[in-house]
Amino acid sequence: MSTTAEVPAGELTLGAALNAGLRQAMADDESVILVGEDIGALGGVFRVTDGLRAEFGDHRVIDSLLAESGIVGTAIGLALRGYRPVCEIQFDGFVYPAFDQIVSQLAKLRARSGGRLRIPVTIRIPCGGGIGAVEHHSESNEAYFCHTAGLRVVACASPADAHWMIQQAIACDDPVIFYEPKRRYWDKAPVEPGPVPADAPALDQARIARAGADVTVIAYGPAVRVALDAATVAESEGRSLEVIDLRSLSPLDFGTLTASVRKTGRVVVVHEAPTFCGLGAEIAAEITERCFHLLEAPVQRVGGWNTPYPPARTEEHYLPDLDRVLDAVDGTYQY
Amino acid sequence: MTDLTDVPKTPADLGVAPEPPMRLLGEDGELLAGAADAGITAELTRGLYRDMVLARQFDQDAFNLQRQGELGLWLSCRGQEAAQVGSIRAVRASDHVFPSYREHAAALCRGLEPAELLTQWRGTAHGGWDPSGYRFHLYSLVLSTQLLHATGYALGVAADRRREPGVDEIVLCYFGDGAASQGDANEALNWAAVTGAPLVFFCQNNQWAISTPSAAQSRTPLHVRAAGFGLTATVVDGNDVLAVHAATAAAAARVRAGGPPEFIEAITYRMAGHSTSDDPTRYRDAEEVRRWEERDPVTRVRRLLDARGWAGEEFHTALKEEATALSEATRAACRALAPPPLEDTFRHTLVEETAALRAERERYTAWRESFA
Ligand SMILES: Cc1ncc(C[n+]2csc(CCOP(=O)(O)OP(=O)(O)O)c2C)c(N)n1
């Protein structure tokens, strides 16, 4: 992982932007503590917590035991005691041992208490493929958590946004599942480290990453870059794509989505997770209900195949790429 | 008497002999050696007895209410009153408690209202009380989840303690012998031991996890396992309220003073079925139940009170009246428990209702009102 020193002034990698966001959140609020496997001296396997232990001490940057249910379960207890734990799950595929604590406990305690309890726990999960990893290191499991009411699920896609979103997630009084696109950790862009500016989009708002007129391409996390690249190519072919970075996967910002569909009448949803019962299915259904009369074509989905995530040497055929996105864009003109 | 240590059965070749459970009160109600040192007084005994009698009354009423169709389900704590009353009375009101789902006696001692305890079983809420106000967390129906919540909470207490040395709360966490098999329980025992969380784990080994006996659930006695994690472990006769109280008070004091987390295994017995839907005659014999009836925790203390002349007729009459009043209040409160509007659920899902939730709530309300 690059450190801030290795990138041009004003530019940060997404990983460094998250690191700066965590630092800001910890400086702003004493009750923020980080918990996770190897996040202390090592700075996490992706170095997102690099240097934070040296700065805030080992009582606030805690190397957890090797037990995911324990990480989330004890975070719930810490939150009940007034702390704001930020958990790091080392890889997407290792969140399942904590599944019960997340969906049955974390998500439900507020409702169960009749609105009396607040459980401000943030669970950071590096997500998605594209880094040539071994099994269980490339998964997109957002649909499991989006299906559970009581959780907010968000995914960052760009350095500046990651910097703000992590602070917003930590400040949020609801539990937040925070997805970090691991193959974008090294992407660089200008970031002004500091508190979230007043005009930054709220945690549950989508963002128009690129304005366009002909087709709305909805993406999140690692797929936003793919959608933007597709838009660049499409432009040279005379088509104007509007790319929406969802940011919030639950709740979904249908205001922004339907406003875009009103302009374009054509929609493509892109994500890495398998399309079957994936977020794209929900988006397609909801847009169809809301905008049936505006649509020129059925909503197209581009996603991972409905198979387990494949071995690294084949992942380029699994992950939605620019060509598959453009193909789906073409598809919306076939009606 | 020795058969208390028969369960759970430990193969001798395992080389881990369970400790004999600590006792202060004999089965015939006589005080045993150590009672004086443990500070057993007439007043303490009367107080614990009262709590147990009231808990039993409440539990019986709730059981009856279920049979009358007023509650969907009830998980009786009959037989476990000493384990619960003895332990919770040994900690402070400022200590935070994480129960499982059968800790009605402990809850009543905490001051929870009968109606609050019946809510979930009547189907009018998934919680029923203010967990922060009572410092008594909501019941946990997924086995063992609460051990991790308790550990985390205790870690928070420890963190507070570093900032404000005056903080001296501890955490008390209840669970069953069956629950001890769950991964979460083992993660929590280990986590607490490693981090030194200010916590007392209190296992009510009531011999059965629905139809599975403790002996089939664990090859080692649970207190031996806990000691293996590095917790200070005690085994106590869970039907002896004086011993439970003394053991918990001692453990709580050590933890409060900064000692490592403690584990108490209380050997007790679940007299009723697992729940009102359970048929315990299918898996345990009447003789076993009869043997445990002889060790009933309530009559055992009554014998002591009588033998020592620690409670006169007046005390018993007043207690009977109190129990009758509780019974009437319980029944009335139960029948008065009405379902909340479904709208509340939308409002309480997240801290602030999102646009999507609001839209759905309004859709639901409009649909419902269309029938009016
Ligand atoms: C994770 C989980 N699995 C299964 C159940 C169903 N169940 C409820 S209580 C119980 C037995 C629990 O036994 P024990 O821990 O000894 O507590 P007791 O009921 O005897 O007080 C089972 C299997 C559950 N509640 N949670």
Task: Write down the residue that tokens 């399942």 correspond to.
Answer: A96
Q: What pLDDT is attached to residue B36?
A: 83
Which residues in chain A are contacts of B147 at CB distance < 8 A? 73
In A34-58, which positions are buried (b, 16+ CB within 10 angstroms) versus exposed (e)?
Answer: bbbbebbeebbbbbbbbebbeebee
Token representation of residue A68: 């995911």
Distance CA B65, CA B67 (A): 5
Question: B1 burial class (0-12, 13-18, 19+ CB within 10 angstroms)?
Answer: exposed
B350 in reach of chain A (CB within 8 A) = yes
Active site residue B274: yes
Strand partners, B25: B31
**Cα–Cα distance, A30 to B324 (Å, whole number):** 51
Q: How far, CA to CA in Å, does A20 sit from each of A42, A88, A163? A: 16, 16, 7
Question: B258 CA distance to ligand 1 centroid (A)?
Answer: 32
Q: Which residues of B touch A59 (CB under 8 A)?
A: 159, 162
Cβ of B42 closer than 6 Å to ligand 1, yes or no, is no
Domain span(s) for CATH 3.40.50.970 in chain B = 8-26+40-340
Q: Are strands A207-210 and A241-245 parallel, antiparallel or unpaired?
A: antiparallel
B159 contacts on A by Cβ (under 8 Å): 33, 59, 78, 81, 83
Mean pLDDT of chain B: 94
φ/ψ bin of A38: left (φ > 0), alpha (ψ from -120 to 50), beta (otherwise): left
Pick from B130, B142, B159: CB nearest A116? B130
Contact between B190 and A65 using a beta-carbon 8 Å cutoff: yes
CA neighbor of A153 nearest in space, from A244, A227, A64, A220: A220
What is the token pair recorded at A28?
């702003």
Cis peptide bond N-terminal to B8, omega within 30: yes
Nearest CB neighbour to A110, from listed B152, B162, B350: B350
Question: pLDDT band for position B16 (50/70/90)?
Answer: low
Question: How far from the centroid of its chain's Cα atoms is residue A57's Cα?
Answer: 28
Distance in angstroms (rounded) separating the CA atoms of residues B182 and A146: 26
pLDDT at B15: 55
pLDDT tens sequence for chain A (335 residues): 434 445 677 999 999 999 999 999 999 999 999 999 999 999 999 999 999 999 999 999 999 999 999 999 999 999 999 999 999 999 999 999 999 999 999 999 999 999 999 999 999 999 999 999 999 999 999 999 999 999 999 999 999 999 999 999 999 999 999 999 999 999 999 999 999 999 999 999 999 999 999 999 999 999 999 999 999 999 999 999 999 999 999 999 999 999 999 999 999 999 999 999 999 999 999 999 999 999 999 999 999 999 999 999 999 999 999 999 999 999 999 99
Q: What is the pLDDT of residues B353-363, one digit of tens each?
A: 999 999 999 99
pLDDT in tens, B103-115: 999 999 999 999 9
Tens-place pLDDT, residues A262-308: 999 999 999 999 999 999 999 999 999 999 999 999 999 999 999 99
Pairing of strands A267-274, A122-127: unpaired
Residues B193-220: pLDDT tens digits? 999 999 999 999 999 999 999 999 999 9
Contact call for residues A284 and A257 (beta carbons, < 8 A): no
**Which residue does chain B place closest to A82, by CA atoms?**
B156
List of domains in chain A: 10-191 (3.40.50.970), 207-331 (3.40.50.920)
- Asked if A1 contacts A50 with a C-beta cutoff of 8 angstroms, the reply is yes
Mean per-residue pLDDT, B129-157:
97
> Tens digits of per-residue pLDDT, B326-371?
999 999 999 999 999 999 999 999 999 999 999 999 999 999 999 9
The answer to whether A65 contacts B187, with C-beta atoms less than 8 Å apart, is yes
State the closest ligand 1 atom to the C-alpha of B206, by its place in the atom list counted from 1. 20
Select from A37, A147, A17, A80 the least CA-distant residue to B151.
A80
What is the signed CA dihedral for A244, A248, A249, A253, rounded to 10 degrees?
A: -70
State the pLDDT confidence band at B9, using cuts at 50, 70 and 90: very low
Domain B8-26+40-340: which topology?
Answer: Rossmann fold (3.40.50)
Mark B14-45 as b/e (b = at least 16 C-beta within 10 Å): eeeebeebbbbbbbebebbeebeebebeeebb
Which amino acid is it at B372? Answer: A
Which residue in the list B283, B284, B302, B364 is annotated as catalytic? B283
CA angle in degrees (0–180, nearest 5) for A233-A236-A239: 85
User: Which strand (E) or helix (H) includes residue B203?
Assistant: strand B199-205
Looking at beta carbons, which residues of chain B come within 8 Å of A104? 142, 145
d(CA B11, CA B29): 32
pLDDT at B172 over 60: yes
Q: Which residue has the tokens 């989006």?
A: A146
A116 and B153 within 8 Å at the Cβ level: the answer is no
Distance of CA B363 to the CA centre of its chain: 42
For A221-275, the three-class secondary structure string (H helix, E strand, C coil) is CCHHHHHHHHHHHHHHCCCCEEEEECCEEECCCHHHHHHHHHHHCCEEEEEEEEC
The conformation of residue A107, written as its DSSP 8-state character, comes to: T
CA distance B50 to B341: 38
